[in-house]
Amino acid sequence: MQEATNEDKKKRGGRKRGRTGSSSGSDSRILSVFELRQQFSWNPEVMERLPGELCVKIFHLFDHQTLATALQVCRKWRKLGSDNALWSSLFKERWGEDSASFYAPQDSKTWKDVYIAQDRCDRYGLGLKIIREGVDYYLIHQGEIQRYLGSCRHQTSWDSGPLLQDKLEQQRLEISDKMLFFIGDLEAACADARHVRM
């Protein structure tokens, strides 16, 4: 008898029943949500077993940011989420049919690549820029990454010691040097181009 009451408490989530011995309508809804949550708790194997067609249909409902997050769930989702038709429809939805026909991917590029480049153009402009995405620095031109310049890992704690601080400082200096050398190369190339025009 004692086992049955403990099991009932578990099912009810530890809630007590009212005086009449029945739970209210809102309690039963809470219990059903609680039971559903228990039944469908996060399990990567369940996500892997979803049919591919269903995943792609679900992905078509996402915006680009949600889709980018979903691509990090598992390898299967990354592969399915890189579908050309999916990124083409996202591109057309955001920038229109005319832009889609103008920027249509060529050679080995995919619609995902074109979407990412166009998104960078919207955020940073068309010119030559040094940007930071996460902890990495890149040189971009017209939304395309031209060169990886390095990474700047942030110090996680103040007491990490002088060796780690020296290493972090060295990484920062390497990035600065790469940027300076590139700017110098760019200036030299521009000067050569001016001489050729005359």
Report yes or no on 23 lying in a domain: no
pTM of the model: 0.57
- Who's near 131: CB < 8 A, 6+ residues apart? 120, 124, 137, 138, 139, 140
Give the confidence band of 41 by pLDDT, cuts at 50, 70, 90: low
Report yes or no on 196 lying in a domain: yes
Report yes or no on 46 lying in a domain: no
Q: How far apart, in whole angstroms, are the C-alpha atoms of residue 49 and residue 198?
A: 66
Mean pLDDT of the residues in the chain: 75
* 73: number of Cβ within 10 Å: 14
Its domain, for residue 185, covers 126-198
Give the confidence band of 19 by pLDDT, cuts at 50, 70, 90: very low
Report yes or no on 54 lying in a domain: no
The domain tally of the chain equals 1
Q: Is the pLDDT of residue 98 over 90?
A: yes
Question: Which of 166, 144, 146 is closest to 155 using CA atoms?
Answer: 166
Structure confidence at residue 195 (pLDDT): 58
Report yes or no on 10 lying in a domain: no
Report yes or no on 193 lying in a domain: yes
Q: How far apart, in whole angstroms, are the C-alpha atoms of residue 127 and residue 151?
A: 22
Structure confidence at residue 130 (pLDDT): 84
Q: Which residues face 136 on adjacent strands?
A: 133, 151
Q: How far apart, in whole angstroms, are the C-alpha atoms of residue 179 and residue 147?
A: 10
Question: CB of 120 within 8 A of CB of 112?
Answer: no
Report yes or no on 168 lying in a domain: yes
pLDDT digits (tens, 9 = 90+) for 121-170: 999 988 888 888 888 888 889 999 988 887 766 545 555 566 766 776 77
Report yes or no on 165 lying in a domain: yes
